[in-house]
């Protein structure tokens, strides 16, 4: 029986070693799986962050373009209004020209009459 006892003890010892290795393997697997999950979560978070930044840039560019277009439209309206006002003033000045020429001519005549006397 000692031989059987020795064999039984040896088998028991191998079983305990196998259980220990199995526990270590399970623990290593957990650690690796946890690390992998953390890495995948980090990568996914990075993708979400990049997508959000791209979307924000696109929206910002769209708003910037809209502001520039609005400013250009307002500048064009101001330019057109200024052009109309300049034309109006030019017509007004033209209408006053004959009277101004007449007045200045009269003053020059008066001045010349006064000198010749």
- Round to whole Å and give the CA distance between 64 and 87: 34
Q: Report percent pLDDT > 90 for the chain.
A: 50
Residues (pLDDT < 50) of the chain are: 117
pLDDT tens, residue by residue, 78-106: 999 999 999 999 999 999 898 989 999 99
pTM of this prediction?
Answer: 0.50
């Amino acid at each position: 029986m000692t031989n059987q006892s020795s064999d039984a003890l040896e088998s028991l010892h191998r079983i305990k070693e196998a259980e220990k290795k199995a526990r270590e393997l399970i623990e290593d697997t957990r650690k690796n799986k946890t690390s992998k999950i953390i890495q995948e979560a980090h990568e996914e978070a990075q993708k979400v962050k990049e997508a959000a930044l791209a979307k924000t840039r696109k929206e910002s560019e769209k708003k910037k373009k809209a502001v520039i277009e609005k400013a250009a439209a307002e500048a064009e309206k101001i330019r057109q209004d200024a052009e109309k006002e300049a034309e109006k003033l030019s017509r007004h000045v033209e209408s006053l020209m004959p009277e101004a020429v007449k007045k200045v001519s009269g003053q020059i005549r008066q001045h010349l009459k006064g000198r010749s006397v």
